[in-house]
Amino acid sequence: MKTITVTVNGAVYEETVSERMLLVDFLREQLALTGTHVGCTYEGVCGACTICLDGEAVKSCLMLAVQADGHSITTVEGLAGDKLTPLQQAFIENHGLQCGFCTSGILMNMSEFLEKNPNPSDDDIRHGLIGNLCRCTGYVHIVKAVRAAAAVGR
Amino acid sequence: MYNFNYYRPLSLEEAAQVLSAASDGKLMSGGMTLIPTLKQRLANPSDLVDLSEIADLSGIEAKGDTVVIGATTTHAEVADSEVVKSQIPALAALAESIGDPQVRNRGTIGGSIANNDPAADYPAGLLGLGATIKTDRRQIPADDFFTGMFETALEEGEIVTAVSVPIPKKAAYAKFPNPASRYAIVGVMVAQGPAGTRVAVTGAGPGVFRVAKMETALEKNFSANAIEGISVPAKGLNADMHASADYRAHLVGVMARRAVTAAG
Amino acid sequence: MPDSGTNTGIGASVRRKEDFRFLTGKGKYTDDLNRPGQAHAYFLLSPHARAKINGIDTNAAKQAPGVVDVFTAADLAADGVSGPICGWVVTQKNGEPHKSPAVSALASDRVNYVGEQVAIVVAETLAQAKDAAELIEVNYQPQPALIKMKDALANGAAQLHDDVPGNLCFDWEIGDKAATDAAFKKAHHVTKIDIHNNRLIPNAIEPRAAIGDYDSGMDMMTLYTTSQNPHVARLVLAAFMGLGPENKLRVVAPDVGGGFGSKIYVYRDEIVTLWAAKKLGRPVKWTAERSASFLTDAHGRDHDTHAELAVDKDGTFLGLRVSTLANVGAHNQIFSTATPSYLYGCLLAGQYRTPAVYGEVKTVFTNTAPVDAYRGAGRPEATFVVERLVEKTAKEMGIDRAELRRRNFIPPDQFPYQSPCLVQYDSGDFPHLLDRAMEVIDYAGFSARKQASAERGKLRGIGLSCWIEACGLAPSAVVGFLGGGVGQWESANIKFNPTGSVTLYTGSHSHGQGHETVFAQIISEHLGVPVESVEVVHGDTAVVPFGMGTYGSRSGPVGGGAVYKAAQKIVEKGRKIAAHLLEASVEDIEYAGGTYSVAGTDRTKTMAEIAFAAYVPHNYPLDVLEPGLDETAFFDPMNFTFPSGAYFAEVEVDPDTGVVTVLDMVGIDDVGTVMNPMIVAGQLHGGFAQGIGQALYEQCVYDENGQLLTGSLMDYCMPRADHFPSFRTEETNQPCPHNPLGVKGCGEAGAIGSPVAMLNAVIDAIGVNIDMPATPEKVWRALQSQAQAAE
């Protein structure tokens, strides 16, 4: 067991974890932040567990909780303040989600993406989305929502 | 996942020390391959030594006619680096083609080459560019480093610290990705520069390899036409449900020609 | 997308009520739930496709740290718990019912596929359960596996099940054999195809999960599970698996992360998890790992078909003959017999007047995971056969693909139209759909685009499919006649609250389709309540009246119909209350948009006032009318619904690599009344992505030993965002004549019509017939063989 200190959505946590605990399990089970989802278990392919680690989108199922020691994490629960972010709002306006399971990972990935790419083409967005699998939407409305959020950002 | 001890040393010396003290220690950088392996219980190391917080292992700088990239530099950092983009754009593009954005934010160049997955991109990049791999013990030319499928010249406990990549006159990487995994079914780095004219292929065989016939032809005439008729034998190439050996052999030619054309 | 503005009724693109919780990470999926004191379960899965089990030693596992207990089939048998059932009896050619082997909830004396659940380990943590599972010793005696259908059907083949000779599940026929044979005798031209409909793995992004919970004080079991139809799960668990009675079992399907059919069924792991919770007297939680999802979720499709179309010299279709082998995997499940029979055979006439059709289907047990309904279920397979044949006929006869179809369409004035394949199509305007699709894709401009591609060294192709399907599952009488085991109505309960807001309880279940919004729109339209004031509750058998759940595009036509009917009951009761309050006769009370008025006067009462009066009945006709404003309705329509469409795909092929690039995908759909255009478009897009996935990327591959080679997302290619451009969809908004909302259903349409349109486009580009998925190597090889043939 190891004691780690992590900042999650602005709050500092000091927690004791097993070395083999994945970061996603730490967030979901130990901190009860269940908005971060596990879709593919082993491969780290689906992207549903994407969070931001020190501002960068990473898959929390491909990290151990102990690796996050000393770092700062934002999860989907930490995106909105008093009101939804333009990206979240654009997902509502453009029907960018259906079952919602992949959505948190997509929001976290696209949050970082829009910071790096304030004026993306559809191709840029589609390329940026390859780390997230969605089985419901065919991605059409997701791309539209990200494009709309970028326009609001500008 | 089985249980293990976890260390995150702050210096190379400390890392080497912890590793040598472990009964079956394993180095970890981004963990993009190691963690899935552990999750599937396909490996059972006694200790994990995480190199990610060793400050001087990360970073990119131009040094004379080379670009030096620290071992724990992520794929995203290489892809976005102004130094790499201006000096060796082919390498930046290669880094941008790895996995997906989230993987590129964690995965590192040192981790990739130490693992030497036969379908990874960096082995083709470093071999094709004639890079040198620096470790805590020595310098190893890429030609000697990649020895086989998941095999390298690294000795027990030896730690990759950086790679030094000579700046080519021209280079390009052409990749035919597996649509599911995004690993290379075939990836070809073609370069001409201080390390000579090189054609390095990943994905197709059990490990990265060079195509001497193409190199000779390109030495004389650096154009796609020059290698039009040159094929690699299918025998010994990888074959799986995604691509047969024949098809891979064919793709080596196509990707090599496309890389040559892109390199200009 | 049209702005919904202030209109929240039917036809408006009302933004979804459910989105806020998902966008803020506050959705509650099964794995997000935890019960006090819960233990964790892990299933030991068979590594063999076919083996005898000579013994299972769980002693070491039981002694492992943290282990609560380990159970095998023997423990379940002792408690009378049994396994998955088949929900549909198909009558064979010889008049006998299909063969449905008895299946236990954990493998007992044999395993029949890789991934079959053999034992459950329950431990304090999941890691401990997995550690202990490695200590279970199963004495397997491996036997040669039967993976291919022809091997399983071969004379002298070993049997998967002692009670199923020849591994034949059923041998079934539809249509008129004699009339079809006669039609072929008159044919000027006969087109023949041999095609494979590739096997798919559903891959909802949320893995299946279950939590069993037992309240010994109340003797009440609760199962939280990833189900598309919690009431059906309760019925089946109670009536067939020994986990009842229904009044002592509650099934909750909270937020569910996609289903696509794969979450219709009651799986072994759900049965065993629930049973273990009762056995152990503490909650037990299980969540599938993705690798287990690949192995154990019901797969889809997997047909081998030979088909022939008889045509006269002007291209008129005379007869269609279809012979199909369908793989049902290792054992039956709820819809695994209905899918390759009625849900397939009934659609073989397609959009055409073909007078004589004969189809026969043999279904085969193999040592692979069970195959069952997956988005479209039978109808994509039928569409694939018909539209490949028609496309090939057009090419062979030198008739334009659109023109050939047009010559054979059922004319719009011929509805209702009795198909030679049992069903009666209720409505459709196929020429209109095709006309519009040709306009949108710019069919006339294709040859110029093809030329432009050729100049860049690329092969361009266009593909069409004109398809029809039957969905809106219902009607009970027909389903029962055809062998279905349950009713197919849907229920709705509208509960006005005293202050005028509404809670709607529906037996449909939303796992992405947006019921919470669309059903609120129906209430808004008919009861004048804004959608914000309507709460839609679904997925919990403890609070919702009995329901049949969501599959077969039934929520809109059937579930929506029940909501409409309940709303009408509310309106009628409200009319009586209004008459009393307004001191007028009931006949004089008019109702519109949430307000009652006395005809010819300005005296009115709003629905909110009526609701208040109903619950605070101080001035109320208590002598003739009950208080309260709370109505339940069940709706069971008289026919299936028949959505149809015309889809075009346009692709470019790189001849050097065989890579297919999707350039355009256009769908013109008749899905009936469009209740929410934004949501309908989303449903169609998702269907397209799955259909194109089938056509170009996805395939389930077992090796000859029955090991699943595509058992991970690294090997099974799910479509990603950069695999295709944005799709273009339009709907014609032609109402269904036999349900009150005019809805036909849109959940499966995209996945039914798109695979064959896409494959037709690839074949058009390369000029060689190939099977799905059109992977780069397959396309490249086809081009190589063509080049060699030309030399």
Domain containing residue A128: CATH number:
1.10.150.120
Q: Where in chain C is the domain with CATH 3.30.365.10?
A: 146-198+299-413, 426-472+638-791, 489-635
SS3 for C716?
coil
Domain limits, chain B: 1-53, 170-263
- DSSP H or E stretch at residue C522: helix C515-527
Q: CA angle C535-C539-C540, nearest 5°?
A: 95
Q: C560, C741 in Cβ contact below 8 A?
A: yes
Tens digit of pLDDT for each residue in C217-275?
999 999 999 999 999 999 999 999 999 899 999 999 999 999 999 999 999 999 999 99
**pTM value?**
0.97
d(CA A27, CA A53): 13
Q: How many domains does chain A have?
A: 2
Strand partners, C91: C97
d(CA C694, CA C772): 7
**What local confidence, expressed as pLDDT, does residue C237 receive?**
97
Residue B78 CB-half CA count within 13 A: 35
Q: C449, C663 in Cβ contact below 8 A?
A: no
Contacts of C258 (CB under 8 A, 6+ apart): A98, A99, A101, A135, A136, C204, C205, C206, C511, C512
A99/C32 CB distance under 8 A: no
What are the chain A neighbours of B3 within 8 Å (beta carbons)? 18-20
Average confidence (pLDDT) over B48-62: 96
**What local confidence, expressed as pLDDT, does residue C2 receive?**
43
Average confidence (pLDDT) over B185-192: 98
SS3 for A125?
helix
What are the chain B neighbours of A57 within 8 Å (beta carbons)? 101-102, 105
Mutation site, A1, A3, A16, A19, interface B, largest B CB count within 10 A: A19
Q: How far is CA A126 from the centre of its chain?
A: 16
CATH of B1-53, one of 2.40.128.50, 1.10.10.10, 2.60.120.10, 3.30.43.10: 3.30.43.10
d(CA C487, CA C232): 10
Tens digit of pLDDT for each residue in C430-465?
999 999 999 999 999 999 999 999 999 999 999 999
CA-CA-CA-CA torsion sign (B110, B113, B119, B122) = positive
Is A56 in the same domain as A121?
no
* Nearest residue, CB atoms, B247 vs list C291, C710, C777: C777
Is A55 in the same domain as A15?
yes
Whole-angstrom Cα Rg for chain B: 18
Average confidence (pLDDT) over C756-760: 98
Shortest Cα–Cα distance, C552 to chain B (Å): 29
C715/B242 CB distance under 8 A: yes
What are the chain A neighbours of B2 within 8 Å (beta carbons)? 20
Neighbours of C138 (CB within 10 A): 20
Average confidence (pLDDT) over A98-103: 98
Q: Which residue of A has its CA nearest to B29?
A: A67
Q: How far apart are the first and last CA of chain C?
A: 53
* Nearest residue, CB atoms, A18 vs list B3, B39, B52: B3
A100/C26 CB distance under 8 A: no
**What local confidence, expressed as pLDDT, does residue C161 receive?**
96
The answer to whether A80 faces chain C, any CB pair under 8 Å, is yes
Strand partners, C651: C461, C662
Token representation of residue C177:
């054999």
d(CA C61, CA C68): 10
What are the chain B neighbours of C127 within 8 Å (beta carbons)? 1
SS3 for C762?
helix
Shortest Cα–Cα distance, A128 to chain C (Å): 8
Shortest Cα–Cα distance, A99 to chain B (Å): 22
pLDDT higher than 80, residue C1:
no
pLDDT category, C131, cuts 50, 70, 90?
A: very high
Phi, psi of C570 (to 5 degrees): -60, -45
Q: C666, C440 in Cβ contact below 8 A?
A: yes
d(CA C523, CA C515): 12
DSSP labels for chain B? ----EEE--SSHHHHHHHHHHSSSEEEESS-TTHHHHHHTT----SEEEE-TT-GGG--EEEETTEEEEETT-BHHHHHH-HHHHHH-HHHHHHHHTSS-HHHHHH-BHHHHHHHT-TT-SHHHHHHHHT-EEEESS-EEEHHHHEEETTEESPPTT--EEEEEEEPPSEEEEEEEE-TTT-SEEEEEEEEEETTEEEEEEESSSSS-EE-HHHHHHHHH--SGGGGTT----STTS--BTTB-HHHHHHHHHHHHHHHHHHH-
The answer to whether A122 faces chain C, any CB pair under 8 Å, is yes
> What percent of chain C stands above pLDDT 70?
99
Tens digit of pLDDT for each residue in C381-401?
999 999 999 999 999 999 999
- DSSP H or E stretch at residue C526: helix C515-527
pLDDT category, C3, cuts 50, 70, 90?
A: very low
Range of weakest confidence among B98-107, C6-15, C124-133, C612-621:
C6-15
pLDDT higher than 50, residue B67:
yes
Token representation of residue B132:
């040198």
Neighbours of A56 (CB within 10 A): 18
Phi, psi of A143 (to 5 degrees): -60, -45
B243/C657 CB distance under 8 A: no
What dotted CATH number matches C33-72+108-145+207-257+263-296? 3.90.1170.50
CA-CA-CA-CA torsion sign (C779, C783, C784, C786) = positive
Q: Which residue of B has its CA nearest to A124?
A: B101
CATH of C426-472+638-791, one of 3.40.50.720, 3.40.1010.10, 3.30.365.10, 3.60.40.10: 3.30.365.10
Q: Which residue of C has its CA nearest to B100?
A: C720
DSSP labels for C389-413? HHHHHHHHHT--HHHHHHHHBPPGG
* Nearest residue, CB atoms, B50 vs list A67, A131, A132: A67
The answer to whether B103 faces chain C, any CB pair under 8 Å, is no
d(CA C65, CA C277): 20
Indicate the residue among A77, A102, A131 that finishes a domain.
Answer: A77
**What local confidence, expressed as pLDDT, does residue C50 receive?**
98
- What's the CATH code of the domain at A10? 3.10.20.30
Average confidence (pLDDT) over B75-98: 98
> What percent of chain C stands above pLDDT 90?
97
d(CA B188, CA B124): 7
A19/B100 CB distance under 8 A: no
Tens digit of pLDDT for each residue in C510-528?
999 999 999 999 999 999 9
pLDDT category, A97, cuts 50, 70, 90?
A: very high
What are the chain A neighbours of C287 within 8 Å (beta carbons)? 38
d(CA C607, CA C596): 7
Question: Which candidate, C685, C333, C744, places its Cα nearest to that of C555?
Answer: C744
d(CA C638, CA C331): 32
pLDDT category, C474, cuts 50, 70, 90?
A: confident
Average confidence (pLDDT) over B238-251: 97
C777/B179 CB distance under 8 A: no
pLDDT category, C5, cuts 50, 70, 90?
A: low
> What percent of chain B stands above pLDDT 90?
99
Q: What is the fold, at CATH topology level, of the domain defined by B170-263?
A: Enolase-like; domain 1 (3.30.390)
Q: A105, A37 in Cβ contact below 8 A?
A: yes
Q: A140, C727 in Cβ contact below 8 A?
A: yes
**What local confidence, expressed as pLDDT, does residue C7 receive?**
82
Is A19 in the same domain as A48?
yes
Task: Tell me the average pLDDT of chain C.
Answer: 97
Question: Which candidate, C614, C616, C603, C526, places its Cα nearest to that of C577?
Answer: C614
Token representation of residue B117:
């997955």
Q: What is the fold, at CATH topology level, of the domain defined by C146-198+299-413?
A: Aldehyde Oxidoreductase; domain 4 (3.30.365)
Shortest Cα–Cα distance, A61 to chain C (Å): 12
What residues make up the domain containing A50? 2-77
Q: Name the strands in the sheet holding C728-731, side by side, starting at the edge strand that comes first in the sequence.
A: C459-468, C644-653, C660-670, C728-731
Is the CATH code 3.30.365.10 the one for domain C489-635? Answer: yes
Question: Which candidate, B104, B1, B10, B97, places its Cα nearest to that of B49?
Answer: B10
Task: Tell me the average pLDDT of chain B.
Answer: 97
Is A14 in the same domain as A72?
yes
Q: C149, C86 in Cβ contact below 8 A?
A: no
**What local confidence, expressed as pLDDT, does residue C6 receive?**
63
ipTM for this prediction: 0.98
d(CA A116, CA B76): 12
B102/A59 CB distance under 8 A: yes
Q: C354, C317 in Cβ contact below 8 A?
A: yes
Q: Which residue of A has its CA nearest to C26?
A: A35
Is A8 in the same domain as A68?
yes
* Nearest residue, CB atoms, B180 vs list C130, C657, C714: C714
Between strands C660-670 and C728-731, the pairing is parallel
- DSSP H or E stretch at residue C750: helix C749-766
**What local confidence, expressed as pLDDT, does residue C4 receive?**
45
d(CA B145, CA C594): 78
